[in-house]
Amino acid sequence: MESYLLDWANLLLRWVHVITAIAWVGSSFYFVFLDSSLTPPEDEDLKKQGVSGELWAVHGGGFYHPVKFAVKPPQMPAHLHWFYWESYSTWLSGFSLFTVSYLWNASTYLVDKSLMNWSAGAAVGVALSFFVVFWMLYDVICQLFGKGKNGDAVVGALVAVLVCAASWLACHWFAGRAAFLLVGAMMATAMSANVFFWIIPGQRKVVAAIKASEPVDAIHGQRGKQRSVHNTYFTLPVLFAMLSNHYSFTWSHPQNWLVLILMMLAGAAIRQFFVLRHGYKLGRNRHPLAYALVGIVVIAGVIVWMKPPPVAPSVATNSVAKDDQNTGAMATIGYKNIQKVLEQRCYLCHGAQVQMKNVRLDSPELVKQHAQAMYQQVVVTKIMPMNNATGITEDERGLIRQWFEAGAKTE
């Protein structure tokens, strides 16, 4: 029953998380586009009101005319829309999902004893510390080095080094699948913390000053803008880290930390292309195609580098080939051929005593029932056994592949 309820919690939290993340990323991308596309107002009345930029747009059968006041509007409107619950809801649902999916069963999903032979409690504590320590170091970097002419470049370089170090540590301490997700969650936590600790408090101070007819300190807008820019460059790397846990060839690679770093670099470069592209249309900067090409080249390089070597015929394949030669017919691999593999590699979690995910594999009928899932998890994605805790070999995976492709026979 616990596994069944956890599956429902995972599904519902994932659903909410995706919805709120779409809302947050969508609004973030829109405002980055808006800031980059604003032009000085032409209407004299708008200039007198203090409008610094305007934009005309058409969407959904109507025309829109947003304007931006650089410091403050002439007066506060009766209804002011705030954008923060998209961020908070995304983080809360994401952290809940991380708890249900990884922290709840840390010994299975978080710990890889071939990397670090620590207890589940220690693994959970260290994983949570990634969120706190990364945010603290990132925040200190922004405050100490984010000023001056080259402040943005210095901060960018230092944060990049910090992300690389965290990625290396995560991939050497935790199971690969969890490590990628942990790095993404760590960066997403910093994004939401930017909203919670800097962007929204600064905006509230500006609103309070306007209502009290006091001078508005422009530093609040500058700080909020800085953190918003950081958030937009974090977005694509975070999304890759989150999605990669469905593709085992990324996080199961021997140099998975380098795979993660390179793909996040490609994401940041591609995001830079889209950010600068808006300004290019208005003649504010050179064409940013070079950034997109850098991202594409890095991705292509990773694909070529990770290309698996040709697989030599396995012992099982050779055995079947000999049977074919002896019988002169296609040999049929049945349940009996894979039963020993299942006993050694799968019964620990899917046998009579334990049925993870309500799956049993200790009878021909049950194996036949879950044949498609077995093939997908064991042969295609190689997610199972989890972290290869039972030491399944490539030959054994190949045997299961042959059994499935031969029709998943139960005899």
Mean pLDDT to the nearest integer, 154-174: 96
Which pLDDT score, from 0 to 100, does residue 2 have?
Answer: 66
Residue-wise pLDDT tens digits, 231-259: 999 999 999 999 998 888 898 888 999 99
pLDDT of residue 353: 74
Q: What is the mean pLDDT of residues 348-361?
A: 78
Q: Largest Cα–Cα distance of the chain, in whole Å?
A: 95
How does pLDDT run across 12-54, given as a tens digit for each residue?
Answer: 999 999 999 999 999 999 998 998 889 999 899 999 898 999 9
pLDDT, average across residues 128-152 = 93
In the chain, the amino acid numbered 177 is: R
User: Is the distance from CB of 400 to CB of 385 less than 8 angstroms?
Assistant: no
Please name the amino acid found at residue 40. P
Most confident listed range (34-38, 155-159, 304-308, 361-365): 155-159
Tokens of 147: 């000023």
Residue pair 299/266 in contact (Cβ under 8 Å)? The answer is yes
pLDDT digits (tens, 9 = 90+) for 67-122: 998 778 888 888 899 999 999 999 999 999 999 889 988 888 898 888 998 999 99
Name the one residue in this structure whose structure tokens are 């998943």: 408
Q: What pTM, to 2 d.p., does this model score?
A: 0.82
d(CA 103, CA 129): 13
Is the Cα dihedral 241, 247, 248, 249 positive or negative?
Answer: negative
Which residue bears the tokens 């058409």? Answer: 58
Cα gap 186→340, rounded to integer Å: 41
